[in-house]
Structure 1
Amino acid sequence: MSIYAKDTDPAFQAAGAKLGLEIWCVENLKLVSVPKSSHGRFYSGSAYVILNTVLPKSGLPQHDIHYWLGHDTNKVDSALASDKALELDAALGSCTVQYRELQGQETGKFLSYFKPCIIPIEGVYTSQKEHLNGETYKVSLLACKGDHVVHVKEVPFSRSSLNHSDVFILDTASKIFLFSGCNSSIQERAKALEVVQYIKENKHRANCEVATVEDGKFVGDPEVGEFWSLFGGYAPIPQDPPSSVQKQPDTPFVKLSWISTQGKLHPCQTDSLSKEMLETDKCYMVDCDSEIFVWMGKHCSVTERKTSISAAEDFLRNQGRSAGTHSTFITEGLEPAKFRSYFNNWPQMVETKLYEEGRGKVAAMFKQQGYEVKELPDEEDIQPFIDCRGTLKVWRIDCEKLSLLPASEERKIFSGDCYVVQYTYLGNERSENLFYAWLGCGSVMEDRRDAISHLNAIVDSTRGNPVLAQVMEKKEPSQFFSIFQTLIIFKGGMSTRYKKFIAEKGIGDETYDESKTALFRVQGTSPNNMQAIQVDPVSGSLNSSYCYILQTGTSAFTWIGNLSSTRDHDLLDRMLELIIPTWQAISVREGSESDIFWNALGGKADYARAKEIKGYIEDPHLFMLSTTEGSFKVHSHIHFYRHAFISTVGRPFSIWHTFGTQFHIQSIKL
């Protein structure tokens, strides 16, 4: 659920949550979702809203919004598509770039979404069971232009439509002809051939012939003769007239205008443009002759943005500008490189990475001295000690009972409970077992004792030489998280003793409930090692080094700390789908929180903002325990060597491995 639900079209529910294309069409003054099977099929009598979401190498997902207008679209649908595009932008946090696309004059960016092309269809889109508006198959002539992306346009089926500069496709019921003008480029011919293949597979179900016709080829060729016979016989194509396109001046025409709240344009009298001229509470239009940009300040309302977009469209209409004049609508802070190029000395937005620069200089110095320099692996690149593709079993302790959790619940544990974990994996040509007793911070002493007792009982019934470990919540070794891969730790507990304890103490039950406010800290090193830890739902629980999920019972937020990494953002999205898969969360960056967000946490308060430094981890120590004639001895070995234990007592004994504050116990029979 989203706080935008009452202000945003229901069709946009969960929009932008997944990567790739999402398309809506205006039908009966409402937006309807276009299924993936129909992506790329645009009707000339309809208006569409298109959202493309990509995940860059670093940072948050990026969104581009296009609204496409067919040449037969009425003014009402066109205006509605424009408003809906702005509405979608607001729902995504006003962090998108919007493009106005006209049929036949689409931007290269838009066409690149559809491989190999789009071919507009006459008529109006309907969300009913798809059909071609009842029309029968008809012969059509298509003109193809473009070396990188293809502009495909249906032209009149007439010899006069042909020329020497373009590539044409004649589509008939039984055969597709590809006609290449003698002045067309190799790239254009190759792209047009992709379009031919697309038409063959999608319109003819791959059941038709394909013929190529070269401009100027002898008519005696059977396929060439067949092609010209469809036009009533061969006749020479007139020479292409000289291009009427004038050479663009070296210095493009650029004019800046401020747009008032009434939608009036006020030209700014200046010979050069600078970023300082753009005020954050106003909207501006930059007229570059062949295209226009509408720049909208961060502090402008949605109403002001709608007014500025309408003003720009009215300007193009009143000026009689070419249909090929592209319109791009930009929010402050998301200016593309082309827009910035029209301004003098636009400030660079690149952050100086002092650490990266310093590391490189130090490495270079050592290399000059003849030392080999290797970079330490990132935390997520460190390989686990054991195979983490084994099988997992998890039991919850409830009084003296041991309850095996179903597979769907074994990666969801509560801090008020205790658990026994068995992990079985393939070791040296045989199965190995690793056991943990996990003791939640809020668990009662009786449950902890029973957990150890049950652990020993299970180990005694297990063959081989199992490894045992006792783990306290918040002190888990990395290996524990690695075998779970995905782990959610909820507050509260399900144990009978825990429920009885909080009742006797008069403590409120904070066990996780989807209808109540809950805050989760997301952490981990990779999708194979990630955790969500429920923390107190107060502002003081936040930390700039992490990302969080806030669930209020009526809405959900994702909070992104300023010191979090791209990897953290990826884990945040994955965890969100696991905890509240049916909710659309509102993404909030640190520093841009709304009052609704802070109120859900009981008000704004101080929290940790410095980079979290991990505590010092002691080197591992190995102790050998032995008993001889009633005496108990402990021997410390600095290094781990298997032969250090062979010549000891001839009875079962235990080896305790200590990693920091954790003990790992292995029972071995010699």
Structure 2
Amino acid sequence: MNKPKPVDFSDSNIAGLGTDLEKKLRLSTAETEKAWDGVGKKVELRVWRIENFAVKAWPKASYGTFFSGDSYIVLNTWQKPGNPKLFHDIHFWLGKDTSQDEAGTAAYKTVELDDYLGTFPVQHREIQGAESSLFLSYFTHFHTQDGGVESGFNHVHPETYTPRLFRVRVTGHSLVITQVAISSQSINSGDVFILDTGRSILQLNGKTSTGMERARAAEFSRKLSDDREGQAQVSVFAEDDADAEPFWTGIGGKNGPIMSGEEAKRLRTPPKFDKTLLRLSDRTGKLLFKQEAKGKILHSQLDSSDVFVVDSGDHGKDSAQLFVWIGKAADAQERRQAMRYALEYIKHNGRPATVPITSVPEGGESELFTQVLDR
């Protein structure tokens, strides 16, 4: 059976509300989703994968490993120092090859989990390759690779293993490992790369990669070997080593010059953009979405009776994010349409479709959100 068409991340109805998908979900959910039983009652991280419209617990040993063909839900329950109250961050993560149904189910079930917890959870949309720093901070190793529900638990048989090339870089405190195309065009001098052939694991350290990246990548290489009971031999090369030939041969040869680390960084750096505040309100009897401020945003500009979209622009060291702030007195229509308008804003204002989106209830603002606001 062919995989359904991948989701369009700019789709304004990603949760499938009001569609046949929602009807299917309501039928399958019945009164209560069993996957939520007992969650959110202690400090912990929980991960689930969407499988055929169902929420399935992801093995703890695989936390941090995500497949591009799937969608996941991640719940982080945490406490502030000296405060017994529990806080919740719910993320739905969408792989680049996930289907519309899987993405819609993840989004829908995230809302359901939010309702179940009922204690001001903060909701986040995460897209593969553009994960927020908060999401990455949950995992010591954040590892994405091709595949999905059908291939996620395949045991590695060296004789039949399909080679994979991974790019390794350190982001904050997290090691981010991403499967890339097996080609010298995927290589740059600023990162570390690991070619896993099943029987051998070949690590290439880009000449301007950091010592931290090289050391953490070596840990990952050893883990791959350990998972195969040492059957895979690990070799480490510097980019300019004459003996790095096995690595280059394994990816089809060094075809042309290797991209510099500076050029690779420039290509993945989004264009400059100012902070922007937009209001969604139906107080006139018609739902209106308009810009309220640009460049500087004050907390006093937020109104409890409406919904606001806050574009962080190039705030601080973190990548751009969109926040959907839900006022306590916002009505049902404003709440229900908030995500759609946030996605429409992204689509029509030059923002990447993969930008992280966080839904923030008034009174449950995260530290990251408050840092975006000006004093």
The answer for the alignment partner of 1:79 in structure 2 is 104
The answer for the alignment partner of 1:334 in structure 2 is 364
Q: How far off is 1:226 after superposition?
A: 2.4
- The residue type paired with residue 208 of structure 2 is N
CA distance in 1, matches of 2:351, 2:234: 40
The answer for the alignment partner of 1:95 in structure 2 is 120
Distance 1:105 1:161, change over 3 A: same
CA distance in 2, matches of 1:263, 1:67: 27
Written as runs of structure 1 = structure 2, the 5 A alignment for 1:199-218 is 199-202=224-227, 204-217=228-241
- The residue type paired with residue 258 of structure 2 is P
Whether the aligned pair in 1 keeps the contact of 2:73 and 2:106 (CA below 8 Å) is yes
Q: CA RMSD in A?
A: 3.1
Whether the aligned pair in 2 keeps the contact of 1:27 and 1:126 (CA below 8 Å) is no
Q: How far off is 1:67 after superposition?
A: 0.5
The answer for the alignment partner of 2:344 in structure 1 is 314
The answer for the alignment partner of 1:229 in structure 2 is 249
Distance 1:308 1:210, change over 3 A: same
- Pick which of 309-318 and 61-70 moved more: 309-318
> Deviations for 1:463-522, whole angstroms, at most 9, x for unmatched residues?
xxxxxxxxxxxxxxxxxxxxxxxxxxxxxxxxxxxxxxxxxxxxxxxxxxxxxxxxxxxx
Whether the aligned pair in 1 keeps the contact of 2:143 and 2:178 (CA below 8 Å) is no
Distance 1:215 1:302, change over 3 A: farther
Distance 1:234 1:325, change over 3 A: closer
Written as runs of structure 1 = structure 2, the 5 A alignment for 1:36-47 is 36-47=60-71
Q: How far off is 1:126 after superposition?
A: 8.5
> Deviations for 1:532-579, whole angstroms, at most 9, x for unmatched residues?
xxxxxxxxxxxxxxxxxxxxxxxxxxxxxxxxxxxxxxxxxxxxxxxx
CA distance in 2, matches of 1:313, 1:151: 26
Whether the aligned pair in 2 keeps the contact of 1:293 and 1:329 (CA below 8 Å) is yes
CA distance in 2, matches of 1:155, 1:263: 43
- The residue type paired with residue 220 of structure 2 is V
Q: Does 1:325 align with 2:325?
A: no
The answer for the alignment partner of 2:276 in structure 1 is 255
User: Helix, strand or coil: the match of 2:143?
Assistant: coil
CA distance in 1, matches of 2:234, 2:203: 8
The answer for the alignment partner of 2:200 in structure 1 is 175
Distance 1:82 1:247, change over 3 A: closer
CA distance in 1, matches of 2:287, 2:101: 19
The answer for the alignment partner of 1:11 in structure 2 is 35
The answer for the alignment partner of 1:53 in structure 2 is 77
User: Helix, strand or coil: the match of 2:323?
Assistant: strand
Q: 2:191 aligns with which of 166, 181, 203?
A: 166
Distance 1:134 1:10, change over 3 A: farther
CA distance in 1, matches of 2:186, 2:349: 29
Distance 1:140 1:246, change over 3 A: closer
User: Helix, strand or coil: the match of 1:228?
Assistant: helix
- Pick which of 112-121 and 291-300 moved more: 112-121
CA distance in 1, matches of 2:257, 2:116: 53
- The residue type paired with residue 128 of structure 2 is Q
Distance 1:341 1:54, change over 3 A: closer
- The residue type paired with residue 70 of structure 2 is S
Between 1 and 2, higher relative CO (CA 8 Å, sep ≥ 6) is seen in 2
User: Helix, strand or coil: the match of 1:122?
Assistant: coil
TM-score normalised by length of structure 1: 0.45
- The residue type paired with residue 70 of structure 1 is G
Larger Rg: 1
Distance 1:158 1:9, change over 3 A: same
Q: How far off is 1:338 after superposition?
A: 3.3
Q: How far off is 1:8 after superposition?
A: 4.8
CA distance in 2, matches of 1:186, 1:316: 37
> Deviations for 1:567-624, whole angstroms, at most 9, x for unmatched residues?
xxxxxxxxxxxxxxxxxxxxxxxxxxxxxxxxxxxxxxxxxxxxxxxxxxxxxxxxxx
The answer for the alignment partner of 1:139 in structure 2 is 163
User: Helix, strand or coil: the match of 1:119?
Assistant: strand
Whether the aligned pair in 2 keeps the contact of 1:52 and 1:64 (CA below 8 Å) is yes
- Aligned pairs, number: 332
Q: 1:63 aligns with which of 88, 91, 95?
A: 88
Distance 1:75 1:269, change over 3 A: same
Whether the aligned pair in 1 keeps the contact of 2:202 and 2:247 (CA below 8 Å) is yes
Written as runs of structure 1 = structure 2, the 5 A alignment for 1:408-419 is none
Q: How far off is 1:49 after superposition?
A: 0.9
> Deviations for 1:167-189, whole angstroms, at most 9, x for unmatched residues?
10011121111101111111221
CA distance in 2, matches of 1:120, 1:178: 17
> Deviations for 1:613-646, whole angstroms, at most 9, x for unmatched residues?
xxxxxxxxxxxxxxxxxxxxxxxxxxxxxxxxxx
In structure 2, list runs of 5 or more residues that go unmatched. Answer: 1-28, 314-319
Same amino acid, percent of matched pairs: 30
CA distance in 1, matches of 2:234, 2:74: 33
Whether the aligned pair in 1 keeps the contact of 2:122 and 2:361 (CA below 8 Å) is yes
Whether the aligned pair in 2 keeps the contact of 1:141 and 1:168 (CA below 8 Å) is yes
- The residue type paired with residue 62 of structure 1 is F
> Deviations for 1:417-467, whole angstroms, at most 9, x for unmatched residues?
xxxxxxxxxxxxxxxxxxxxxxxxxxxxxxxxxxxxxxxxxxxxxxxxxxx
User: Helix, strand or coil: the match of 1:141?
Assistant: strand
The answer for the alignment partner of 2:323 in structure 1 is 293
Whether the aligned pair in 2 keeps the contact of 1:86 and 1:306 (CA below 8 Å) is no
Whether the aligned pair in 2 keeps the contact of 1:263 and 1:307 (CA below 8 Å) is no
Written as runs of structure 1 = structure 2, the 5 A alignment for 1:79-478 is 79-124=104-149, 130-131=153-154, 136-147=160-171, 148-202=173-227, 204-217=228-241, 219=242, 221=243, 224-233=244-253, 237-240=257-260, 242=263, 243-244=266-267, 253-260=274-281, 265-269=289-293, 272-289=296-313, 290-300=320-330, 304-345=334-375
TM-score normalised by length of structure 2: 0.77
Whether the aligned pair in 1 keeps the contact of 2:327 and 2:362 (CA below 8 Å) is yes
User: Helix, strand or coil: the match of 1:268?
Assistant: strand
CA distance in 2, matches of 1:270, 1:138: 50
Whether the aligned pair in 2 keeps the contact of 1:167 and 1:188 (CA below 8 Å) is yes
Distance 1:269 1:35, change over 3 A: closer
Distance 1:165 1:69, change over 3 A: same
Whether the aligned pair in 2 keeps the contact of 1:104 and 1:152 (CA below 8 Å) is no
- The residue type paired with residue 249 of structure 2 is S
In structure 1, list runs of 5 or more residues that go unmatched. Answer: 346-670
Q: How far off is 1:230 after superposition?
A: 2.1
